[in-house]
Amino acid sequence: MLKVDLDMKVKFLHGFAHKTRIQILECIKEKEKTVSHIVDALNGNQSNISQHLACLKGCGLIVGRQDGKYTYYSLRNQQIKELLNMFDVVFEQVESDVACCDRHIG
């Protein structure tokens, strides 16, 4: 078994721990997008989306590609996409338990 620094693992998982960040990851799961495209798709504001993009980048989940004055954001690799898909599979199995949990609201 790989030895993983638990603090780094928690930091990585932090990227998934906010609704807006999950929305961003889902938004760019199939195709890279600019901040403007993400803002439009999520009906968000640019400042807030940019802060979440910085968090996702810092957690190693996404990368940015500069093209002229635009930065295009995408998932770091195929494994991140597979992880998001696996979250959906597992969530489907535990959804009723999660719905009953009142320890972690919102």
- Tokens 């599979």 identify what position? 89
pLDDT digits (tens, 9 = 90+) for 16-38: 999 999 999 999 999 999 999 99
CATH architecture of 14-100: Orthogonal Bundle (1.10)
Query: Which tokens go with 77?
Result: 């690799």
pLDDT digits (tens, 9 = 90+) for 65-97: 999 999 999 999 999 999 999 999 998 998 888
Map the chain to HEC letters: CCCCCHHHHHHHHHCCCCHHHHHHHHHCCCCCEEHHHHHHHHCCCHHHHHHHHHHHHHCCCEEEEEECCEEEEEECCHHHHHHHHHHHHHHHHHHHHHHHCCCCCC
pLDDT band at 101 (very low <50, low <70, confident <90, very high): confident
